Amino acid sequence: MDQKKRAPVKIDRMGCEIHDHLIGGFRALTLTDGDYSITVLPEKGSDIISMRDDKTDTEFLWTSPQGLRADTPSKNFIDNYEGGWQECFPIGGSAINYRGAQMGQHGEVHALAWRVVDSFHDSGEASITLETHTIKTPFALRKKITLRNHVGLVEIEEWITNESDESLPVLWGHHPALGGNFLDANCKIDAPAKKVWSYVLPENSETGQFDQSISGAWPHLVNKRGEIIDLSEVAPPESKTADMLFISDFTDGWISVTNRERKAGLAFLFDPQLFPVMWFWQMYGGGTGYPWFGRAYTMALEPFTGVPNPNASDIDHVAGTKLIAG
Residue 229 lies in a domain: yes
| Residue 322: per-residue pLDDT | 85
| CA 91/CA 309 separation, integer angstroms | 11
Residue 24 lies in a domain: yes
Residues 113 and 211 in one domain: no
Residues 208 and 116 in one domain: no
Residues 269 and 294 in one domain: yes
Residue 157 C-alpha from the chain's centroid: 15
Residue 94 C-alpha from the chain's centroid: 15
| Residue 2: per-residue pLDDT | 43
Residues 96 and 199 in one domain: no
Show the domain range for 279. Answer: 185-304
Residues 266 and 131 in one domain: no
Q: How many domains does the chain have?
A: 2
Residues 146 and 192 in one domain: no
| CA 152/CA 168 separation, integer angstroms | 36
**C-beta of residue 86 within 8 angstroms of C-beta of residue 106:** yes
Mean pLDDT by 10 residues, the chain (326 residues): 45 77 97 97 98 96 95 86 98 94 95 98 97 98 96 96 96 98 99 98 91 98 98 98 98 99 97 98 96 97 93 82 83
Q: Which amino acid is at 80?
A: N
Residues 150 and 258 in one domain: no
| Residue 326: per-residue pLDDT | 79
Q: Which of 22, 15, 28, 27 is nearest to 1 (CA)?
A: 22
| Residue 8: per-residue pLDDT | 46
Residue 1 lies in a domain: no
Largest pairwise CA distance in the chain:
56
Residues 248 and 227 in one domain: yes
Out of 137, 172, 207, a domain closes at 172
Residue 323 lies in a domain: no
Q: Which of 115, 152, 182 is nearest to 32 (CA)?
A: 152
Residues 37 and 108 in one domain: yes
Q: How far is CA 91 from CA 73, 99, 123, 242, 319, in A?
A: 22, 12, 38, 22, 12
Residues 296 and 272 in one domain: yes
Residues 159 and 218 in one domain: no
Residue 239 lies in a domain: yes
| CA 185/CA 199 separation, integer angstroms | 23
Residue 318 lies in a domain: no
> What CATH number did the domain enclosing 150 receive?
2.70.98.10
Residues 168 and 191 in one domain: no
| CA 92/CA 80 separation, integer angstroms | 16
Out of 145, 172, 199, a domain closes at 172
Q: Which of 218, 222, 220 is nearest to 193 (CA)?
A: 218
pTM over 0.85: yes
Residue 325 lies in a domain: no
Residue 232 lies in a domain: yes
What residues form DSSP beta bridges with 186?
Answer: none
CA atoms within 13 A on the CB side of 78: 11
**C-beta of residue 196 within 8 angstroms of C-beta of residue 215:** yes
What burial letters (b/e) apply to 153-190, b meaning 16+ CB within 10 Å?
A: ebeeeeebebeeeeebbbbbbbbbbbbbebbebbbbbe
